[in-house]
Structure 1
């Protein structure tokens, strides 16, 4: 039975859109799409894990409502977020007769959403795009804000675009089918929002560890809604990362992206890398005298309670620094880090000594 539905409006003038959040919302996909597009041809992009779980049923629903539907399933996993996979989708869409009146609907996690969104942004100079994220990480982070793209072998998210969806449909019931590791990886981004933007939300997470771990639908609806609202507030003020405000969303990511690359995008899930990265970033903030040791311990305790006390991958320090210098926050050849000065607030900090960065790896 569907519960209460929450709606977060992302206000971006003519690019504004709604994020609908609740339990059982996927069943309303035909109505959700019809209210936002005049198209009758939907390109559904999913992966090998989600295809049988949700995408097939969504396609059947749309066909039953008179849509022409083409369903493409990529291999699950970060390696599919590639130029080669995008090329395969472009050509498959061309062969199926997709045109500028077609829409692209991503049904799956962050890899599916980023890849499908990039394909939507570039095919025929841009198609309407919708997201139906089925992982926690995608629901609270990657499906919101319009950043789409693919990886290069040596750099994550280096090829991409800003392409806002026309709507996002979050069904927290889909999170029940997530493997435990995938679910916990998504919680890393939830914790991130508390650290960077909302001390009260961080306290809510601390107080609700048990229902979060048990995946209670009402609590999940609350944390997805609040995470989306916090991210939407930032995106509304800095849609294309021109003011530096949106950089706050990358807390833990400078370290985390380096760890992902060290593991060749296969050893750690993105959320696990972010969890390890947040530990290093908070440790770095302690070393620089920006936060008290108690703030570090508070973050450590919450991450541990949620099964996210992830250690950084072992690597040569010079290699870690080399990968960090590829980070998009590097300016004038200098590393910059998103670091807290208290729970609930972060700043972009430049001129961080490399010795302190390396020392922060020892959490």
Structure 2
């Protein structure tokens, strides 16, 4: 077993998981990567390949990813590409990874100007979710996971969105019963979509990218890591919802409900004072691009979204302006 984790998680859970695997009869090579989005790089995956080679890994070796989304994406890509693909297990330790990146089989790394541009579809053999590890998660990281939870309500399940609105206190206090409910429902909603469109051939899986066209652009132009993924997605969802408003697809109540819920969960709701031209330029790397045209996932009503193309760039800009609170 090659156990891959980051510098933060190694100190909290690394030895315990390694011992658990050894007690089951596995030999374990622990590999620690630097914490943070910057580790999703060609340099870091090359270091993993070399470590796997040095440890004698072969096609019977299993890669275990212990950590958040960065570790899962990086370790998963190393597993997908080493020896043309070896088994892979996810043990996600952040809420974001538990409800999103550990489910669905997308793995990969970033290029300097484009997030997740090099990668593969590589399904884990299984995903082990232990909600107790969330009690050690820093507050900012916990809130980032909640952004993706809110997203599932907007795109797929209006009743789930209402459940989140009604249980803000329990969610903010990390009460185990509430956590169990929101994690199980989020995983089920995502798994249903992935099952229907695993490799993004029908376009259905693209709905999971609600808020991500704006959010990924914000991450790219501010330098990966200054805005955490969930923070960028929170703001990105509001940009997308305002874009839908400006196109006459939804009324403002949908945006207001999202804004209020995100704010109550401690997430940012304003786009920072960034260069909007740079944002629009960064969107050109979006993987939903269709023959040079940007496509956005936009709400139709609470619990339902559509993929929309041919959106005038002035509407995109106006949605960002109104989400940043500036006058133009």
Task: Specify if TM > 0.5.
Answer: yes
> For 1:112 and 1:316, how far apart are their aligned partners in 2?
30
Question: 1:295 and 2:230 equivalent?
Answer: no
- The C-alpha deviation readout for 1:270-325, integer Å capped at 9, x for no partner, is 00000010010111111111111111111111011101133223222221111111
SS in 2 for 1:341: strand
Normalised by the length of structure 2, the TM-score is: 0.97
Residue number in structure 2 paired with 1:144:
103
> For 1:315 and 1:215, how far apart are their aligned partners in 2?
33
Question: 1:201 and 2:145 equivalent?
Answer: no
Residue number in structure 2 paired with 1:235:
194
Question: 1:54 and 2:10 equivalent?
Answer: no
- 2:276 maps to which of 317, 320, 342: 317
Cα distance, 1:78 vs structure 2: 0.3
8 Å contact 2:64–2:90 — kept in the other structure?
yes
Residue number in structure 2 paired with 1:106:
65
Cα distance, 1:61 vs structure 2: 1.3
> For 1:69 and 1:332, how far apart are their aligned partners in 2?
46
Residue number in structure 1 paired with 2:113:
154
8 Å contact 2:79–2:87 — kept in the other structure?
yes
Question: 1:68 and 2:44 equivalent?
Answer: no
Cα distance, 1:64 vs structure 2: 1.9
- The C-alpha deviation readout for 1:131-152, integer Å capped at 9, x for no partner, is 0000000000000000000000
> For 2:130 and 2:28, how far apart are their aligned partners in 1?
21
> For 1:195 and 1:248, how far apart are their aligned partners in 2?
10
- The C-alpha deviation readout for 1:334-356, integer Å capped at 9, x for no partner, is 11100001110000000111000
8 Å contact 1:273–1:310 — kept in the other structure?
no
SS in 2 for 1:68: coil
- 1:181 maps to which of 140, 144, 161: 140
Residue number in structure 1 paired with 2:55:
96
Normalised by the length of structure 1, the TM-score is: 0.88
- The C-alpha deviation readout for 1:78-115, integer Å capped at 9, x for no partner, is 00011110000000110011111100000000000000
> For 1:154 and 1:283, how far apart are their aligned partners in 2?
26
Computed over aligned residues only, the root mean square deviation of the Cα atoms, in angstroms, reads 0.7
Residue number in structure 1 paired with 2:286:
327
Residue number in structure 2 paired with 1:14:
none
8 Å contact 2:259–2:269 — kept in the other structure?
no
> Which 5+ residue runs of structure 2 have no aligned equivalent?
324-328
Residue number in structure 1 paired with 2:41:
82
- The C-alpha deviation readout for 1:25-61, integer Å capped at 9, x for no partner, is xxxxxxxxxxxxxxxxx11000000002112101011
1:242-281 residue pairs with structure 2 within 5 A?
242-281=201-240
8 Å contact 1:262–1:313 — kept in the other structure?
no
> For 1:118 and 1:62, how far apart are their aligned partners in 2?
22
